[in-house]
Each structure stands twice: as C-alpha cells, then as structure tokens.
C-alpha cells in the first residue's frame, strides 16, 4: 500500500489565553491516503480548524504546537526548519478558505491574483501563467473570458470556484479546505461540492475537508475523522462510520440530525455541551454527556483503538457498539437523568 | 386593538405585499431617468391562521427576511396591506402599536448578538415587559413562566449571570423566552437554529415545537433549511426572487414538489448518508439580479423547462390541488 500523503501523529496544540494554557488539540492522530478526501468533522470549538491551520503553518500567534508530528510525504514538518515549511505552503500544501469573499483582494483583477501565485510561487513566466489561469478557470467551471474582472463582479459561488482554482494552481500534494461551502446556499453548495468531487477524481487530489456538516462529508469524502473536545473519537470509511457509528457521540449526532429522506422522526438532542478545555475532565471527554457511562469512563481516558479495516474508536465500550447503537436509537436513552 | 373578529379570520393576512429598495444614490444617476429598484418582496399574498406554523423557505437574497420584517411592521411596505387579526397594521400608532408589538414578536437568528452583553439574563427577559408598560409586580412571575416554557427553569439559576456565561443552545432558548414573555399570538423566527451546533440544535427545535403546540402560537419560520422546515412547519411557502413560487402542506410539498425551483432545491440538499443521488441538478447558472423588474417568470433563466411563454407572461400563483398553489405555466 502506498504511504499516506500526510500522517498526523499525536499532535497537540496549545493556546495561551487570559485563563491560562488551553490545549485545543490533544493527541490527535489520523492519516490522509493519497488521492482521498478526508472529512474532518466536529462541532464548534472541537479543534478541527486548529488542526487544519497547523498543517498549513498558519496557526494564530497565541498558539503553538506542543507535541507530535506532521509527516508530509515522509518528512516531519514540525521538526523541519521554518523556512522549509514555508516553501511547502501553496506549492505543495494549499488552502481553500471558508469565505472566498474575504480571501480575494478586492482591488486586483482575479486573473492577476491567479497569475501572482503562478509567477511568484510557481516560477512560471507571465505568458505561461496566463494560459494556466485560463486552464484553471475551465477546470472549475468558470468562463476564462472573465479573468479580467474584479472579485465584486463574481457571485459567492463563483468566488468559491476562484478559491478552488487558486488552491489547485500549483498542483499541490495536499489541499486543505476549511468549511468551503458553509457560507453558500444549498444549490450553490451542491455545485461547489460537485466541482470538488470531479476534480478530486480527475486529478487524484489528496484533501482534508474540514466541516461541521455530516451531510457534506457524506456527499464527497472517502474517509471521516470525528473530533470532539480536542480529541479524535472515531475514524473510518465514511460509509462505515455513518452507517455503524461506534462512538456514543457519533450515535447521538445521527439522532440529532434532521434528515429529508427518512420518515420524520423526533430529533433527540445530546444533553449538555462540550467541556471547557481550560479544565478538561480527567476521564473521557464525552463522559458528562454520555448515556452509556461506566464508572471507569470518569477516571480513565479511553485511548483510540483499532477496530477493523481503517477503523478506530476511542471508547471503553466500543466492543459493545452494536448493542449500544440499538439503544442509542431510542430517544429515552438520551433524556437527561 | 380589538380581539379576534371571529375564529375564522386568519391571524395574519398579507395582500400584494411589496417592498422595493432604492439603490444607493450615485453622482452618475443625474443622467439617468430611472434607477432600477430592488424588488425584495414582490406582490406576496399569504395568510397565517391562529396556531399555525408556516415555513418560509428560500435562498439568501430571496426576500424571506424582508417579508418577516414587513409582517412585524419593523419596516414599511412599498405597496400592499397587512391585516393582523382583522386590523390593518399600517395605521397602527401609539397604544395600538404597542398592543400589536406585544402580540407579534421576533426571535432573532444569532443568539450571541441578540442579547445585550451588559444586561443580566433576568434583565434581558424583563426588558420587553418594561418597554410595554406591564405592571412591575408581575414581571418575576412572567419571566419565570417564560423560562419554564423553554424548559430552562428556574430563574434563580441565572441569578446575576450574563449572556457570555451561557452556551449557545441556552442563549437561543433565552432569546425565545424573551419573545414569549409578552405572551404573543404570533412569532417570526428568522433562521432560529442556523448558528447552533447539531447536537444542541435538536433541543431548541423540540422546545419550539412544544411551545407552539402548548400555547397555540402562530409562527412564521424563515429558513433556508428544508429539513428544519419539515420538522416544525405544517405548511410551507417557497420564495424565489421576491415572489412566492410554491405553497402547500409541508409533507406534500416535499414529497412531490411541483415548481422546477422547488424540485432543484430538494435535489440539492445533501443527506448524511453515502448512498445518495449525485445526479446533476435540474437548474442552470446562478440567481439572477432582483434589480429592475423583468417581464415574465423570474425563474426562467435558470429553468431547464422554460418555454417561450415564460419570457413574456408572469405566471400567477394559482391553486392546483387542495391547499397547493404554484406559480408556473408548466404545472
């Protein structure tokens, strides 16, 4: 088997805050296989964006990598000199932001912004950059005749296409997309997801898609990494994790999600909210909200354990998952005690 | 304001409701005869009965939020009438306007912005009572009641707490409680859960459903989310570029959408399963501009079924089955 493009090993990231050190990412491990889209999902504050930013090397200045490795194409970026990492950025690891509205410079023509990347980072000549820009516009479904327009002349969906074109300009080895469709309307969202899917198949892109939306992950990604309160709680193939979740958090989310296709069932919330990471619970971080709590869950932090092909779960009761899943479908299970 | 003329009068009725926004003035406009206005809301008719929950569905810029604001008299219509409990809203002023405000309330989208950060939770909840001159001695009881309606009692647990000390799910329920404290007959909820995480969203939606049923509240839910509308609304209106293009009982409408726009919208919604349709959407290009007022159907540029007639003749919203109305020549 080919080695993964990116191997995140035991990554921890801390923020300095007024309330002390907050470990927003704590011992996160997962890998991105070559040519696959990995969906990194979780709720606000779970650390998914911090992980994504650490890989692109643009952490907030109050944050630092406290431990772990980011092995990209066989080389650890964390241990590498800063300059080397800097060179990887854009050329080999590119980024699609959430709001293309804010990431394009309003006073430059779109074509000029594409060419800038190609000339300064990619070392192309102006003429080469120009023809590559047209090619990129074609690729993301934009009319190359509009290269000379300004960002305000483009709609939200079109700007997101430009952001994708920018990210793909230098044939990167890894693309990181942070909530690339969250700000868009459903129809445009679907069109952008189709662009991402097509390009991934055509160019065999390796990609991390950060999102809070499980349906987005279900639509495009091959593999899913679920984060909760700074930890990875479950990973596996998208189909497997969504159909047979093994972590109680994931089981709870499935019930809480309104689904258009199935019969209108009553939605069941997960009681409570994620823990404060300035003082995380000593045991499992989901324990305060978990309906399947055992005494050991409150003291003993479950490690992530492999459960079959490409599957890992961080839960003491993972071996009983099939049983728990049946119980998780009953709304009474989730009612606060 | 007089209380209900009869049980059969709809609580809220809008006829030909229209809101035009003038474009920002520019120097070059001196040389132009007419500046194209944005038709945010265009000849909308709707009725909401007592205790009924209606979904107003559409994409950003379609005019759904403007419609909600018009119904609450937060902005004035350019044309058309709104009747609330049989009385024209346009003429309300002074005490009758305050009375209307007590009966028609808004639930805001972003709970983090909707509450004054310097007000305690208790003060935020009592504020509407103060503003409408409700007798002070009753405030505590009414706040307590509203909190139990949103399943957050008792008030004592929020003693001295400020909004930043609460979670998003709690805040959104406080925002709902603040709308309920005046015991309204009608609420407009503008994207009430779009800012919340999935695991807490369900809790807020359940509370909204319960409150509506137990208080017999009429509600207009403004949303872009079909699944939400399906969960809380018995009837749904679909809006496109300022117009209602389809209306019907929610389940019927989702099961057999009739307007080409509704069909595309339904197909576009991703579901949390791997086995789902990935067929191309039956829609062309992007949303057109709401400026100016072109002839014909506003959806025709994007419609895969458009015929010559669609370009000249604006389709009226007409009844096609019991409770179902569609504005399309081809249905």
- Over residues B208-251, the pLDDT tens digits come to 888 888 898 999 999 988 888 888 899 999 999 999 999 999 99
Residue B76: its pLDDT value, please?
95
Q: How confident is the model at residue A114 (pLDDT cuts 50, 70, 90)?
A: very high
Instruction: Say if the ipTM goes beyond 0.90.
Output: no
B150 backbone dihedrals φ, ψ, rounded to 5°:
-95, 15
**Chain B contact for A78 (CB, 8 A cutoff):** no
- Which positions in chain B touch A187 (Cβ < 8 Å)? 59, 264-265, 268, 281, 283
Q: How confident is the model at residue B147 (pLDDT cuts 50, 70, 90)?
A: very high
Other residues' Cβ atoms within 10 Å of the Cβ of residue B330: 15
- DSSP annotation of B166 reads S
- For A216, which residue in chain B has the nearest alpha carbon? B270
**Sequence-ordered list of residues with C-beta below 8 angstroms from that of A99, at least 6 positions apart, any chain:** A183
Burial of B44 (0-12, 13-18, 19+ CB in 10 A): buried
SS3 B310: helix
**Chain B contact for A222 (CB, 8 A cutoff):** no
Of B65, B17, B35, B52, nearest in space to B291 by CA: B35
- List residues of B whose CB lies inside 8 A of any A CB: 59-60, 167-169, 197-206, 224-228, 230-231, 251, 254, 264-276, 278, 280-281, 283, 286-287
- DSSP H helices, A178-282, are 186-203, 214-220, 238-243, 248-256
Q: Which two tokens stand for residue B220?
A: 């207009």
- Which positions in chain A touch B265 (Cβ < 8 Å)? 186-187
pLDDT beyond 50 at B2? no
Which one of A189, A212, A260 has the shortest CB-CB distance to B227?
A260
Q: How confident is the model at residue A89 (pLDDT cuts 50, 70, 90)?
A: confident
Measured in angstroms, the CA of B229 and the nearest CA of chain A are apart by: 10
Interchain contact, B274 vs A238, CB within 8 Å:
yes
- For A43, which residue in chain B has the nearest alpha carbon? B197
The b-or-e profile of A163-176 (16+ CB within 10 A means b, else e) is bbbbbbbbebbbbb
Interchain contact, A259 vs B227, CB within 8 Å:
yes
Adjacency order of strands within the sheet including A6-17: A20-32, A6-17, A63-72, A75-76
* pLDDT tens digits along A50-80: 999 999 888 889 999 999 999 999 989 999 8
In chain B, the N- to C-terminal Cα span, in Å, equals: 42
Q: B160: left (phi > 0), else alpha (psi -120 to 50), else beta?
A: left
Round to whole Å and give the CA distance between A142 and A149: 12
Sole residue written with tokens 């079109």: A158
Q: Where are the domains of chain B?
A: 12-23+36-326
Residue B29: its pLDDT value, please?
65
- Which positions in chain B touch A157 (Cβ < 8 Å)? 286
Domain B12-23+36-326, what fold? Rossmann fold (3.40.50)
Range of weakest confidence among A189-203, A259-273, B263-277 = A259-273
Query: Is residue B241 within a helix (H) or strand (E), and if so which, with residue range?
Result: none
Burial of A137 (0-12, 13-18, 19+ CB in 10 A): buried
- For B251, which residue in chain A has the nearest alpha carbon? A264
Round to whole Å and give the CA distance between B90 and B76: 8
Q: Which two tokens stand for residue A268?
A: 């069941």
Quick one: angle between helices B198-215 and B139-149, nearest 10?
120
* pLDDT tens digits along B153-181: 898 999 899 999 998 889 999 999 999 99
Round to whole Å and give the CA distance between B234 and B53: 6
Query: Is residue B309 within a helix (H) or strand (E), and if so which, with residue range?
Result: helix B308-312
- Which positions in chain A touch B269 (Cβ < 8 Å)? 186, 190, 215, 260
Classify the C-alpha dihedral A76-A77-A78-A79 as positive or negative. Answer: positive
Round to whole Å and give the CA distance between A311 and A223: 10
Round to whole Å and give the CA distance between A207 and A195: 13
- Which positions in chain A touch B200 (Cβ < 8 Å)? 269-270, 273
Interchain contact, A44 vs B197, CB within 8 Å:
yes
Q: A158: left (phi > 0), else alpha (psi -120 to 50), else beta?
A: alpha
Average pLDDT, chain A: 90
| B239, B224 Cβ separation under 8 angstroms | no
Percent of chain B's residues with pLDDT above 90 = 58
Which one of A186, A243, A266 has the shortest CB-CB distance to B269?
A186
Which one of A43, A157, A193 has the shortest CB-CB distance to B197?
A43
Other residues' Cβ atoms within 10 Å of the Cβ of residue A103: 17
Range of weakest confidence among A238-252, B25-39, B89-103 = B25-39
Q: Which two tokens stand for residue A167?
A: 């990210």
Instruction: Write the DSSP string, B95-127.
Output: HHHHHHHHHEEEE-S-HHHHS-TTS-HHHHHHH
- Which positions in chain B touch A261 (Cβ < 8 Å)? 271, 273, 276
Question: In the beta sheet, which residues pair with residue B220?
Answer: B54, B188
Of B172, B245, B251, B247, nearest in space to B205 by CA: B172
pLDDT beyond 70 at B35? no
Round to whole Å and give the CA distance between B293 and B82: 23
Residue B240: its pLDDT value, please?
93
In chain A, the N- to C-terminal Cα span, in Å, equals: 48
Query: Which parts of chain B are beta strand (E)?
Result: 12-21, 38-48, 53-57, 79-84, 87-88, 104-107, 186-190, 218-223, 235-240, 243-249, 318-321, 324-326
- Which positions in chain A touch B281 (Cβ < 8 Å)? 187, 190-191
Round to whole Å and give the CA distance between B174 and A46: 24
- For B228, which residue in chain A has the nearest alpha carbon? A258
Interchain contact, B269 vs A260, CB within 8 Å:
yes
Interchain contact, A269 vs B281, CB within 8 Å:
no
Round to whole Å and give the CA distance between A269 and A53: 30
Question: In the beta sheet, which residues pair with residue B247?
Answer: B237, B325
Interchain contact, B202 vs A186, CB within 8 Å:
no
Interchain contact, A186 vs B224, CB within 8 Å:
yes
- Report, as an integer, the average pLDDT of A179-206: 89
Quick one: angle between helices B260-268 and A186-203, nearest 10?
50
Q: How confident is the model at residue B292 (pLDDT cuts 50, 70, 90)?
A: low
pLDDT beyond 80 at A337? no
Chain-centroid distance of CA B78 in Å reads 19
B contact test, residue of A141, A162, A186 with most B CBs within 10 A: A186
Total residue length of chain A? 337
Of B220, B256, B217, nearest in space to B236 by CA: B220
| B188, B101 Cβ separation under 8 angstroms | no
CA angle B239, B241, B243 (to 5 degrees): 50
């Amino acid at each position: 088997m080919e080695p993964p493009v990116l191997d995140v090993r035991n990554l921890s990231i801390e923020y300095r805050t007024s309330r002390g050190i907050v470990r927003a990412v704590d011992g996160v491990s997962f890998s991105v296989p070559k040519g696959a889209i990995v969906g990194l999902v979780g709720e606000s504050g779970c650390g998914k964006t911090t992980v994504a930013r650490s890989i692109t090397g643009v952490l907030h200045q109050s944050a630092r990598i406290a431990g772990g490795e980011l092995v990209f194409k066989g080389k650890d970026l964390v241990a590498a000199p800063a300059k080397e990492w800097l060179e990887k950025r854009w050329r080999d690891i590119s980024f699609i932001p959430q709001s293309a509205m804010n990431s394009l410079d309003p006073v430059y023509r779109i074509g000029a912004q594409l060419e800038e990347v190609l000339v300064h980072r990619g070392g192309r000549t102006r003429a080469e950059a120009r023809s590559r820009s047209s090619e990129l516009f074609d690729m993301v479904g934009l009319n190359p005749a509009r290269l000379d327009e300004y960002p305000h002349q483009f709609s939200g969906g079109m700007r997101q296409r430009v952001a994708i074109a920018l990210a793909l300009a230098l044939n990167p080895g890894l693309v990181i997309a942070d909530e690339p469709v969250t700000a868009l309307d459903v129809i445009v969202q679907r069109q952008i997801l189709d662009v991402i899917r097509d390009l991934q198949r055509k160019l065999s892109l390796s990609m991390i898609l950060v999102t809070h939306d499980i349906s987005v992950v279900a639509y495009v990604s091959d593999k899913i990494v679920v984060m909760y309160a700074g930890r990875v709680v479950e990973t596996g193939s998208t189909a497997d994790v969504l159909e047979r979740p093994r972590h109680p958090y994931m089981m709870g989310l499935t019930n809480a999600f309104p689904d258009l296709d199935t019969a209108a069932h009553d939605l069941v919330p997960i009681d409570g909210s994620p823990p404060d990471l300035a003082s995380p619970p000593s045991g499992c971080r989901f324990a305060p909200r978990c309906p399947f709590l055992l005494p050991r869950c409150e003291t003993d932090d479950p490690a992530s354990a492999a459960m079959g092909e490409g599957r890992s779960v961080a839960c003491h009761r993972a071996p009983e998952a099939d049983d728990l899943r049946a119980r998780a479908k009953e709304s009474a299970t989730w009612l606060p005690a | 304001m007089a209380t209900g003329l009869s049980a059969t009068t709809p609580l809220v009725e809008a006829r030909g409701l229209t809101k035009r926004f003038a474009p920002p003035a520019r120097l070059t406009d001196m040389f132009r005869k007419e500046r194209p206005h944005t038709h945010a809301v265009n000849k909308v008719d709707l009725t909401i009965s007592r205790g009924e929950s209606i979904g107003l569905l559409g994409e950003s810029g379609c005019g759904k939020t403007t419609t909600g604001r018009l119904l609450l008299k937060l902005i004035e219509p350019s044309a058309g009438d709104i009747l609330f409990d049989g009385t024209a809203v346009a003429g309300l002023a002074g005490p009758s306007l305050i009375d209307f405000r007590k009966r028609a309330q808004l639930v805001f989208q972003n709970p983090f912005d909707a509450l004054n950060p310097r007000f305690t939770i208790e003060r935020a909840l009592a504020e509407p009572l103060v503003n409408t001159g409700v007798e002070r001695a009753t405030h505590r009881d009414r706040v307590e009641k509203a909190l139990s309606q949103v399943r957050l009692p008792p008030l004592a647990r929020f003693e001295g707490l400020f909004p930043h000390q609460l979670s998003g799910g709690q805040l959104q329920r406080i925002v709902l409680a603040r709308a309920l404290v005046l015991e309204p007959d009608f609420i407009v909820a503008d994207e009430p859960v779009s800012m919340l995480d999935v695991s807490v969203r369900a809790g807020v939606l359940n509370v909204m459903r319960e409150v509506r049923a137990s208080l017999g509240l009429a509600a207009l839910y403004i949303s872009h989310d079909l699944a939400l509308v399906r969960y809380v609304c018995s009837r749904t209106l679909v809006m496109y570029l300022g117009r209602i293009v389809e209306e019907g009982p929610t389940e019927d409408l989702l099961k057999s959408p009739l307007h080409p726009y509704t069909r595309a919208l339904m197909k576009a919604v991703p579901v949390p399963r791997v086995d789902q349709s990935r067929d191309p959407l039956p829609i062309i290009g992007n949303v057109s501009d709401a400026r100016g007022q072109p002839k014909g159907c506003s959806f025709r540029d994007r419609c895969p079924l458009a015929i010559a007639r669609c370009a000249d003749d604006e389709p009226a919203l007409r009844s096609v089955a019991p409770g179902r109305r569609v504005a399309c020549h081809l249905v």
